[in-house]
Amino acid sequence: MAADQNLLGVPPSLSAKVVGSFAYLTVRDRLPTILTKVIDTIHRNKNKFFEEYGEEGIQAEKQTISLLSKMRNELQTDKPVLALTDCLQDTESWNQYLQRHQIEGDEESVSWFKSPWLYVECYMYRRIQEALWLNPPISDYDVFNEGKTQSFFESQQAVMALCTYLEGVKKNMEEISKNQLFEQFNKLLQVSLWGNKCDLSISAGQDNSQKTSPIDSLDSLQPLILVDDSNMVWSTLTSMQRPGQPEKITAGRVDIVLDNAGFELVTDLILADFLVSSGLVREVHFHGKSFPWFVSDVTAHDFQWTIRQTMAANHRWMSKSGVQWQMYVKEGVWSYHDHPFWTLPHEFCDMATDAPDLYATLKAADLVLFKGDLNYRKLTGDRDWDHTVSFDTALRGFGPAPLCSLRTLKANVQVGLQPGQGEKLTSQNPDWMTSGKYAVIQFGSPKDQI
């Protein structure tokens, strides 16, 4: 057995201890850049804090910046990862996780560069929240809000094009054949897939909003989908038409584990609207983050704000879509959830034991769509798998329901490829795993777990 695999054949976690690896470059370069932008954002809003909170606001701004600068120094000089001190709902989980990783009595064993990449990257975002939470009255300030709202506003052309397209599909919904329905499903599933390119943490906050109409570019993007299990997703959707009363088939429930706010969230809402208005699905549960995460991930505020903004748009089909989405939320057809597990560093194979309530919630879904790269890293444990290992193997027993990852590749973990496919890609594009240029629609079957 290769030295770098444990007894169960599970490879090691990706880590910045591998000099020159993508994890190393992220921890050495990108994370400090993101942290510096956070500090600048807080400093730039100093006057706003003064206007809103007076002297207390200035004190809080100064204190928060000094905590973040201290963390940046720890990160850049590879200091030990420190326990959290903010006594919040998830603090215990974080500190237990730290102890589990620490070699008995050796604090140095868990440092920024020596620990699993997944852990330290998640930890940085949680420490940003600790710095804010320890400094009321700016505790609930969203340091990433400007970037997320900018991504929405700068994608308006694409959003208008999508809402117009959806309106056209919905108008003919009664007449279209099952084949045409499958075609429309594929298009909107791929629009949601490519919406994941718009992620502000890979770009370290640089603008990467969607400028062109996403529907027009689908054909040219098709060859860049390395694994396409959309047929599995379709048969899961259509087979879950539960036989209800003879005249009415009750469709099932789809859960969407969201990724980025801005344009990507709109593509997810468009897909969810299509699923419900086509009658394929009865209800959609959206899962977002309980605090600002990985620069652009969706929070409850982002979810509501995006629907309100769409409603208020000065564009007929955009505002019509927004009104419909607000109605879905009001009627309970759509619901938003933000379990704390999604902002822990855990690999998803630990969910059944570390968050049994969430696992049970997902078991009630007929299909769970996982958006984005970080979710893919957690599905596969951010391990250094061979590319030809099956997705089911990498899931290591995680499978509350039929699931599908819709992910553009932005980290060097990818499984489920054909023999030779990875080597061919490397010869053509050495950065194929991290450029965001390629994507997968990867299906995993349900597992019987506790």
Ligand X SMILES: O=P(O)(O)OC[C@@]1(O)O[C@H](CO)[C@@H](O)[C@@H]1O
Contact residues toward Mn ion (CB under 5 A) are 199, 259-260, 294, 297
Least distance from Mn ion to the Cβ atom of residue 202, Å: 8
- Residue 257 near which of ligand X, Mn ion, none (CB within 5-8 Å, type-dependent): none
Q: How many CB atoms lie within 10 A of CB 211?
A: 12
Q: Which is nearer to ligand X, 45 or 208 (by Cβ)?
A: 208
**Positive or negative CA dihedral for 269, 275, 278, 283?**
negative
**Looking at beta carbons only, is 294 or 334 nearer to Mn ion?**
294
97 is written with which tokens? 């996780």
- Residue among 114 and 447 whose Cβ is closer to ligand X: 114
| Residue 377 binds which entry of ligand X, Mn ion, none, CB below 5-8 Å type-dependent | ligand X
Residue 178 Cβ, how far from ligand X at the closest point, in Å?
A: 32
Contact 418, 392 (CB under 8 A): no
Q: Which is nearer to ligand X, 366 or 373 (CB)?
A: 373
Shortest approach of ligand X to residue 104 CB, angstroms? 30
CB of 260 to Mn ion, least distance (A): 5
Question: Can you tell me whether residue 447 is helix, strand or coil?
Answer: coil
Contacts of 125 (CB under 8 A, 6+ apart): 292, 293, 294, 343
Report yes or no: 269 and 307 within 8 Å, Cβ to Cβ. Answer: yes
Smallest separation (angstroms) from Mn ion to the CB of 405: 13
Joined tokens for residue 219: 């054909």
Query: Cα 372 vs. chain centroid, distance in angstroms?
Result: 5
Crossing angle of helices 263-277 and 178-194, in 10° steps, is 160
Nearest CB to ligand X, comparing residues 76 and 326 = 76
Encoded tokens for 438: 């390629």
Give the 3-state secondary structure of residue 15. strand
Instruction: Write the DSSP symbol of residue 12.
Output: P
User: What angle in degrees, to the nearest 10, is found between the helix axes of 31-44 and 117-133?
Assistant: 10
Rounded least distance, CB 410 to ligand X, Å: 3
Compute the Cα dihedral for 37, 39, 41, 44 and give only its sign: negative
Q: Binds 202, which of ligand X, Mn ion, none (CB < 5 to 8 A, cut-off by type)?
A: ligand X
Query: Which amino acid is it at 100?
Result: R
Instruction: Give residues in contact with ligand X (CB under 6 A).
Output: 26, 30, 121, 196, 199, 201-202, 259-260, 294, 372-374, 377, 410-411
Give the β-pairing of 249-250 and 242-243. Answer: antiparallel
Give the whole-angstrom CA distance, residue 176 versus residue 179: 8
CB under 5 to 8 A by kind: which of Mn ion, ligand X, none does 281 bind? none
**Dist. CA 142–CA 301, nearest whole Å:** 10
| Minimum separation from the CB atom of position 257 to Mn ion (A) | 11
**Distance (Å, whole) CA 335 – CA 315:** 25
Chain-centroid distance of CA 199 in Å reads 9
410 binds, among Mn ion, ligand X, none (CB under 5 to 8 A by kind): ligand X
Q: How far is the CB of 83 from Mn ion (least distance, A)?
A: 26
CB of 339 to ligand X, least distance (A): 17
Which residue, 401 or 440, has its beta carbon nearer to ligand X? 440
Counting runs of H as helices and runs of E as strands, what totals does the chain give? 19, 9
Q: Could you say which DSSP state residue 250 is in?
A: E
Minimal distance, residue 121 CB to ligand X, in Å: 6
Q: Which of the listed partners (ligand X, Mn ion, none) does 208 bind, with a CB threshold of 5 to 8 Å by partner kind?
A: none
Q: Which is nearer to ligand X, 97 or 370 (CB)?
A: 370
Our CB check for Mn ion shows the closer of 378 and 396 to be 378
In the complex with ligand X, the residue whose CB is nearer, 138 or 351, is 351
User: How far apart, in whole angstroms, are the C-alpha atoms of residue 366 and residue 285?
Assistant: 11
